[in-house]
Structure 1
């Protein structure tokens, strides 16, 4: 089917329109973050970021978010790779039932389990710890990661594993030397998605750490907003600070992320 110049031009117009629709709020926040605070003359105020960082205490909240993200992304990726490898390449008794149990993690919303889980963790004296914030998110991420990587491993040619077996490679070596290098885009996509979900998680961090000592970046921004509702420039600067790590990670890994998403759609 031949695409005419008019159809190509129309496609570009539509894409530019969607891009403008998506980027307008982002540009608005960026421009507001460097605008003049209340009572100051008009101009560009890069000092808003310094003031927001200092007043909002974002250093501590960003540190907490980084630690939680490292725990969640690390554990969830390793467990998802192992579970996806087992469900995608092996046949064993009860595999279908176990896989559907994993999928329950995608079907049950966090709002339905977070309160009972809080009382359980409080009984074990684990609230207000990184464990209480990270482990529920690990469980949620493993459910998606297993589903994602199972599809990836099942779509790979069986001849790869057969060739590895002929070369004397066991299951672990075949996974590390054959499947993981070939699945790099899918794994990077999982890393980026898990990091974004963990970084933006609000409810679990709010409920599991009521003391406020382990306040994560979204909670820090919410607390900052409650104190400075009138200082739109400072609030925008704080929002930019909180969103910046996710943007940097996505820009750094965008090629692998887009490739992994396209391969997932093709499957």
Structure 2
């Protein structure tokens, strides 16, 4: 004999929804400690930007009579205009944007080609090649200065933006190859076999199958390569000696003398140099989010 359990119904004859139980959660002491540590770390990261923002609109008199954290008595814009006119800031922004943009695109393309051959093509000595690219990325830039200086002087690329572009394309693509080789090494073989059955060759498989699926990761790499190249200082300082070819980080050092430094103008220059990268990051923030989310889901 079977017994049936009737669910309570409403006046209209539809079953009543199951009661919802509220989930009560209490934060433990460890959770509060972790939250406090995150807040303290965030404040430590934001604090230098706040100091720069305050001192960028402060006159030298306000800075001399007050502390670096004191608010300005009035908005002082001479520091920004002085830096803008002294270094021809739009020209420096264009140099940095051109160098970083070309490096980001070329480094991602070369990284994709190398990683496709190593991760999916399974060339001989795959592990040794990956370690070689990792070692090349770990070399300090100081070791590269004299050999690169000799090469660029010989071929006529010294004091040319392409000397910096070539250098950073090689450096960034070494890291990109190391990263993408491990990503392409776990690429689903079923998709590659299906593309081969459909008559797709290696090049078509790469550009029509592998690249579209891996685009979130490639987008993240491109954003990182752009920001890393924009912030580089030593190599552009060494190879771009003329004022017309200098980048934004190099132009900021033009305000620092041997024994005297205008703090307010230097703060204004740091603020102006930070704004383009901040705008770029905000524009491509969705690309970073999608890339990180895609990597987590995979």
Same fold per superposition (TM over 0.5): yes
> How big is the shift at 1:189?
1.6
* Contiguous gaps of at least 5 residues in structure 1: none
Task: Give the Cα–Cα distance (whole angstroms) in 2 for the partners of residues 16 and 185 of structure 1.
Answer: 29
Structure 1 residue 59 corresponds to structure 2 residue 90: yes
Q: Taking structure 1 as reference, are residues 227 and 238 closer, same or farther at Cα in structure 2, changes over 3 Å only?
A: farther
Structure 1 residue 137 corresponds to structure 2 residue 173: no
The counterpart of 1:79, out of the listed 110, 135, 147, is 110
* Contiguous gaps of at least 5 residues in structure 2: 1-23, 64-71
> How big is the shift at 1:261?
4.6
Alignment-derived partner of residue 73 in structure 2: 42
Structure 1 residue 25 corresponds to structure 2 residue 48: yes
User: Given that residues 185 and 256 in structure 1 are in contact (C-alpha distance below 8 angstroms), is that contact kept between their aligned partners in structure 2?
Assistant: yes
The counterpart of 1:201, out of the listed 232, 236, 246, is 232
With the length of structure 2 as denominator, give the TM-score of the two structures. 0.79
Structure 1 residue 168 corresponds to structure 2 residue 199: yes
Comparing both structures, which one devotes a greater share of its residues to helix? 1
Alignment-derived partner of residue 256 in structure 1: 287
Q: Taking structure 1 as reference, are residues 150 and 4 closer, same or farther at Cα in structure 2, changes over 3 Å only?
A: farther
Task: Give the Cα–Cα distance (whole angstroms) in 1 for the partners of residues 184 and 213 of structure 2.
Answer: 9
Alignment-derived partner of residue 14 in structure 1: 37
Task: Give the Cα–Cα distance (whole angstroms) in 2 for the partners of residues 200 and 157 of structure 1.
Answer: 36
Task: Give the Cα–Cα distance (whole angstroms) in 1 for the partners of residues 96 and 259 of structure 2.
Answer: 22
With the length of structure 1 as denominator, give the TM-score of the two structures. 0.88
Q: Taking structure 1 as reference, are residues 155 and 94 closer, same or farther at Cα in structure 2, changes over 3 Å only?
A: closer
Per-residue CA deviation, residues 88-132 of structure 1 (Å, 9 max, x unaligned), is 111233444433332232122111111121012112222011121
User: Given that residues 92 and 247 in structure 2 are in contact (C-alpha distance below 8 angstroms), is that contact kept between their aligned partners in structure 1?
Assistant: yes
> How big is the shift at 1:259?
4.8
Moved more, 111-120 or 49-58: 49-58
CA RMSD in angstroms, aligned pairs only? 2.7
Alignment-derived partner of residue 5 in structure 1: 27
Task: Give the Cα–Cα distance (whole angstroms) in 2 for the partners of residues 265 and 147 of structure 1.
Answer: 19
Question: Larger relative CO (CA 8 A, sep 6+): 1 or 2?
Answer: 1
SS class of match (1:213)? helix
SS class of match (1:101)? helix
Larger Rg: 1 or 2?
Answer: 2
Task: Give the Cα–Cα distance (whole angstroms) in 2 for the partners of residues 3 and 90 of structure 1.
Answer: 51
User: Given that residues 228 and 235 in structure 1 are in contact (C-alpha distance below 8 angstroms), is that contact kept between their aligned partners in structure 2?
Assistant: no
